[in-house]
Amino acid sequence: MKYSYLGKSGLKVSQLCLGTMNFGPETEEKEAFRIMDAALDAGINFFDTANVYGGNDRRGWTEEIIGRWFQQGGGRREKVVLATKVYGDMFDEQDGPNSGAGLSAYKIRRHFEGSLKRLQTDHIELYQMHHIDRNVSWDELWGAFEILVSQGKADYIGSSNFAGWHIAAAQAKAKERHFLGLVSEQHLYNLLERTPELEVLPASQELGLGVIPWSPLAGGLLGRNALSKSGVRSARSAKLEQHRSQLEQFSALCKELGEHEDQVALAWVLANPAVTAPIIGPRTIEQFEDSLRVTEIVLDADTLKKLDEIFPGPGRPAPEAYAW
269 contacts: CB under 8 Å, gap ≥ 6: 189, 190, 213, 216, 275, 278
Radius of gyration of the chain (CA): 20
* pLDDT for res 97: 92
pLDDT tens readout for residues 239-273: 999 999 999 999 999 999 999 999 999 999 999 99
State the distance between the two ends of the chain, measured CA to CA, in whole angstroms.
41
* pLDDT for res 93: 87
How far is residue 302's CA from residue 256's CA, in Å, rounded to a whole number?
13
Whole-structure pTM over 0.85, yes or no? yes
* pLDDT for res 128: 98
* pLDDT for res 228: 83
* pLDDT for res 235: 59
Which residues are catalytically annotated? 53
* pLDDT for res 38: 98
* pLDDT for res 294: 94
Question: Cα 283–67–279 angle (5° rounding)?
Answer: 40
Find out whether 201 and 243 touch, Cβ atoms under 8 Å. no
How far is residue 315's CA from residue 170's CA, in Å, rounded to a whole number?
27
Counting as low any pLDDT under 70, the low residues of the chain are 229-235
